[in-house]
Structure formats: structure tokens, C-alpha cells
Structure 1
């Protein structure tokens, strides 16, 4: 890629709240991961929590659940907040990557209008945490985790990572192993997507010419990756 087309990302903002010493009861509360972006459990969005949500200035909520949870994890305030409801199972074989673009668009639209958004599942540990981590990765160009080197030696440019940033604010997060693998894969997917957006028509033409010269198996592999990263998700949005 030409130097002028080098991907650039905004700096990671610091939330207004200072990092607090983690205590077990905090699992049942929501924490601010970025200014305006909160992560927590369903208990932070229950009907009894409306005063807390309004005090925090919440305007949007991402509600993560699967069908069997719909009776007890639900949008409780459809006339007060804008909802994005996602049907995701906390299962290592669940394809959570397909929900990342929809979630990012919802969060971006919220923050761009001065709103604040809460992302919650049941416990706020696996599914919702994975969605927030993916949002940080794509928005700020972060890796899921640092490489294994000692960051104090400055031998690695990746001195910040999305998982650590979220865990510092909500210590109990623990995406399941399948979600972890997909978050690791997502770095290449979102970088490729952003790179294509920045390329000029001439650069795209050269890229397609190179792809046309690939062996059939390699070309099919790339096409499958693109299809996997571009899968659309149907999510209920209520206003």
C-alpha cells in the first residue's frame, strides 16, 4: 500500500472514571470501557435499574441473548432507549464474527449523536465482552492480545491490546475459547476491509489482476474468507 494510503486510527480515549480496585460485587454492575461505551450484565438493565441507566445517560442498549433466554433477558424499556437485540449463544462454535459489523455501526451511530450505549448479555462476561473487544480492535486498530514479548523491552510496537483495556475496567470478562479464536482472526479481516476501502480504483484493479492469476485453490480460499467476514446478520432494532 502507498504511504499516503496507510491506515490510520484515532487514539484510544480514556474514560472519565478512574480505574477502581475490582471487587466481586462489581460483576453485577456495568463499567465504562470508553467514554460513552459501557459493558455489563443483564442485571444492570433490569426494570429496577431505570434510574441508574438514566443517571449514567444511557440512550442505547445492545441486548445479547439466545432464544431460550428471551423470557428473562429482554428489552425492558423500548420506549426509553434504542435497542439492538442480537441472538447469540455463548457457545464456542457460535459464529460471533458476523455480528461485529452490525454492533460497531450501532455503537458508532450512538456515540456520533452524543449518546451512551450499554452492551450486555446475561453475565457480561463472554458474548457482550467479545463484541466490545471487537469494537475496540476495529475502531482503534488494536490487537486482541499483545504478542508474548515483554512490553517493557519496547521490542514490540503493540503496547496496548483490546482485551487488557476491557479487562482493566471489567475484570471478570472471559470470552469462550471459540470467541477468542474468532477475535484473533478478526484482526486480519477488518484490516483487509479497511485497506480495500482506502485503495484507489487503479490499485483495486491491480489487486484483482493479481488475484486472477492465483491458483484456483488459493483464490477460492480468499473468496471464502471474504464471504465469512461479510456475512450479514439479522438483528431486531426497536425504537
Structure 2
């Protein structure tokens, strides 16, 4: 198996290596590029939103060493499709929701808020994650910030986006401002 330096390799390098190994991949360029971005994005470190709150991905939730280095004691899993990786070692809440625009996150705001608040008060860190750390988890973190700090939707969104620029919160988040 060939190894490469992930800091210097390009998508073109990977496509060429793949073509050499399996044959012509010209018709698959967009798919290959998208999948590489997903994989690389999942390997990023979680984003520290507050000293006690990280926003991340399935990859972050499965990385034992990283969880311990960040003093994580609580994990809020905002997915239907990702299991809790270390249920004997961390306190979990799993909100089984799909990654769809129509997903209703409002039913869980009080539970997710209380769980993050409990982590804060315990002195441990809470990792909030979904598959890619983009929509479901970011919507939850934005709603938490609005309720905890009395922020407007615009302020909370800007604050979280400054710390994790890849977020695209679920549209239901826009309705939370009327509840906070």
C-alpha cells in the first residue's frame, strides 16, 4: 500500500493514483473530489465553541485519544445513523434524528440544553456531534447559545460560524428564536 503526505497531496494526485490502480476514473472526478472532502473534513479536530463545548463530527466522537485530551465527559449524539462509541466511558444523550431539512429538532431543545448545561456545571467538556458536524449539531449548539446567553439568532449564528465556518444549520433553528 502506498502512503502519501496528507498535508501536501492534492485531489489530482489522488485521482491519478486511483486511475493508475483501477483504470480510467474521468467520469468520476466530481464524486471522488466530494468524497475526499468529506473524509478530510471528518478528520478535522472538533471546533471549540465555548471552553466547555466542542462541535464536531462522527470522527471526533470515535477518537478516544482526542476525547480524553479535550477533557470530554459528555457526548451529545445528534444522529440516527451513528452509534455511541464508548458508552461505558462517557455520559451520552442520543437524539435519533435524520439529516433532512424537515427534521424536527424542536422536540429536543430542553433535553439538549440541560445536557450541555450539566456538562458545563460538572467541569467536563461536552462534544456535540452529528455525522459531519455541519447541520444537526450546529443547530443544537446555536439554540443552546441563544438560550444560555440570551443571544439573538443572528448573534449566535455568527459566533458559532466564526469558530466553525463549515456550518449550515437546519432551518428549524430559525424558529427557535421565538422560543428563547
Same fold (TM over 0.5): yes
1:82 maps to which of 82, 91, 113: 91
| Structure 2 gaps, min length 5 | 1-36
Question: Which of 1 and 2 has greater Rg?
Answer: 1
CA distance in 2, matches of 1:185, 1:174: 15
Aligned residue in 1 for 2:61: 45
1:166 paired with 2:175, answer no
Structure 1 segment 1-239 matched on structure 2, within 5 A? 25=40, 28-46=44-62, 49-66=63-80, 69=81, 73-145=82-154, 161-175=155-169, 179-180=170-171, 182-190=172-180
| Structure 1 gaps, min length 5 | 1-23, 146-160, 191-239
Shift of 1:26: 5.8
The RMSD of aligned alpha carbons is: 1.4
Count, aligned residues? 141
CA distance in 1, matches of 2:166, 2:78: 17
RCO comparison, higher one (Cα < 8 Å, 6+): 1
Shift of 1:37: 0.2
- 2:78 is paired with a residue whose SS is strand
CA distance in 2, matches of 1:93, 1:104: 21
- TM-score, structure 1 normalization: 0.56
- TM-score, structure 2 normalization: 0.74
CA contact (8 A) 2:41 2:132 kept: no
